[in-house]
Amino acid sequence: MKTYATRYERLIAEAETHEMIINIGPQHPSTHGVLRLEVITDGEIVKEVIPHMGYLHRCFEKHAENLTYQQTIPFADRMDYLASMNNSHTWVMGVEKMLGIDKDIPKRIEYIRVLVCELNRIGSHLIALGTYGIDIGAFTPFLWCFRDREHIMNMLEWVSGSRLLYNYIWVGGLYYDLPVGFEERCKEFIDYFKPKMAELNTLLTDNQIFISRTANVGILPLDVAISYGCSGPMLRGSGLKWDLRRVDGYSVYPELEFDIPVGKGEMGTTGDCWDRFKVRIDEIQQSVLIVEQCLERLQKDLKRTPDFDPRAKLPKKIIPKAQDFYFRAESPRGELGYYFITDGKSEIPKRVKARAPSFNNLSVISEISRGILIADLIAIIGSIDIVLGELDR
């Protein structure tokens, strides 16, 4: 009996004569990046999905082993390029924790970090929702989401000088304080944005065609989600209230009021594509609440002062003591973590491993795609919300 190196090799070799193997990607808009899916089909029915990754390797871990902690921040930004602030915030908090200076960071800096990260989270989710709409066949929400994300990108460019990859959050502080008038302009955006989200809900969330394409499709049971290490909206869409901003309570999140949306099976079955979509819609609304609270604190209790220096706490040299250390935080896609191995002598870590939520979230696709139609496979991919720069690292 012939043996095969992997289960996937066996599946392809044993495909029956009436089955067909087709490729979706790596150059295909519905794969949301250079991802190749090898799909075994029986007519229109999907028998098995085999994901192939590695087309967008960013060499992050190799960069991290050859650069100082501060120099690595721009490369952390480039992993999940739709949520650069969240990437660098997690990296910086991990390094500060290793140095033991995490309690010394001024409150104004902490609130600014959370403010820009939540703005970035809203922008990331708008991309997820808009592109998901166009995957299903709804073009208008795509244009609306990109229109509103443009306002966020303009504000983050005003803060950092860059529209996508910011290098704004540094170990011990920030590149620069908020520009004069930023808080007022951000408040204007929030007032503009709230009714726009209500319009998006009317147009897409409650749209019967959209519900028919997403409800009871790609159902991810909670035990399967946990077994595969899923996190973020993928895990919460299956009904578990698990958000690291609450669970680990890092930065100033314990001082802020916000809810953790979860899937409830309102339109179909708990853990389906519609639930994952709805969790992201609700998370945008919660991020808006967090932004409002940050703005209130920054304008009242933590006002700008002429002598405030966002770089005052920047360490001259970053040499953590010898240790193995893991730090995690909640990115828009789930649990983003960095595992550091340091020797206590060098400014460059011996080893860094990045735990990317997109990798675990995508790994479950084979489990939830068997027996569905090919058109529904596209709906499932979009509901996972992967970013290939992070997935391949």
* 109-153 tens-digit pLDDT: 999 999 999 999 999 999 999 999 998 888 899 999 999 999 999
The pLDDT of residue 76 is above 80: yes
Which residues have C-beta within 8 Å of that of residue 138, sequence separation ≥ 6?
A: 203, 204, 207, 209, 210
pLDDT of amino acid 127 = 94
Average pLDDT, the chain: 91
Question: Residue 80 in contact with residue 60, Cβ under 8 Å?
Answer: no
The pLDDT of residue 9 is above 90: no
Answer yes or no: is 26 within a domain. no
pLDDT of amino acid 96 = 95
Cα–Cα dist 92/74, whole Å: 11
User: Where is 50: in which H helix or E strand?
Assistant: strand 45-52
Which residues have C-beta within 8 Å of that of residue 182, sequence separation ≥ 6?
A: 155, 158, 159
Cα–Cα dist 364/368, whole Å: 7
pLDDT band, very low/low/confident/very high, at 392 (cuts 50, 70, 90): confident
Question: Residue 299 in contact with residue 284, Cβ under 8 Å?
Answer: no
* Phi–psi pair at 301, nearest 5 degrees: -85, -30
Cα–Cα dist 266/322, whole Å: 50
Q: How much is the CA Rg of the chain, to the nearest whole Å? A: 22
CATH number at residue 191: 1.10.645.10
Answer yes or no: is 41 within a domain. no
CA count, 13 A, side-chain hemisphere, 86:
28
pLDDT: which is higher, 205 or 293:
293
Using a 10 angstrom Cβ sphere, with 0-12 exposed, 13-18 middle and 19 or more buried, the burial of residue 125 is: buried
Q: Tokens 């990108």 appear where?
A: 153
* 286-326 tens-digit pLDDT: 999 999 999 999 998 888 888 889 998 899 899 999 999 99
Domain count, the chain: 1
Answer yes or no: is 53 within a domain. no
CB atoms within 10 A of CB 192: 11
Comparing C-alpha atoms, which of 261, 224, 216 is closest to residue 243?
261
* Total-model pTM: 0.93
pLDDT of amino acid 297 = 94
Which residues have C-beta within 8 Å of that of residue 144, sequence separation ≥ 6?
A: 130, 196, 199, 200, 203
Answer yes or no: is 125 within a domain. yes
Answer yes or no: is 22 within a domain. no
Calculate the alpha carbon distances from 302 to 106, 178, 253, 292 in Å: 10, 12, 16, 14
* Buried-exposed string 85-104: b where 16+ CB fall within 10 A, e elsewhere: bbbbbbbbbbbbbbbebbee
Comparing C-alpha atoms, which of 315, 305, 295, 340 is closest to residue 105?
315
pLDDT of amino acid 14 = 66
Cα–Cα dist 109/171, whole Å: 11
Task: Supply 362's token pair.
Answer: 């995508």
Cα–Cα dist 359/373, whole Å: 24
pLDDT band, very low/low/confident/very high, at 393 (cuts 50, 70, 90): confident
Answer yes or no: is 178 within a domain. yes
Answer yes or no: is 32 within a domain. no
The pLDDT of residue 278 is above 70: yes
Question: Residue 218 in contact with residue 132, Cβ under 8 Å?
Answer: no
Comparing C-alpha atoms, which of 337, 375, 327 is closest to residue 359?
337
Lowest pLDDT segment from 106-115, 201-210, 219-228, 274-283: 201-210
> In percent, how much of the chain has pLDDT > 70?
96
Answer yes or no: is 217 within a domain. yes
> What is the torsional sign of CA 351, 315, 182, 114?
positive
Question: Residue 86 in contact with residue 358, Cβ under 8 Å?
Answer: no
Domain range enclosing 201: 60-392
Which residues have C-beta within 8 Å of that of residue 369, sequence separation ≥ 6?
A: 46, 49, 218, 377, 380
pLDDT of amino acid 77 = 93
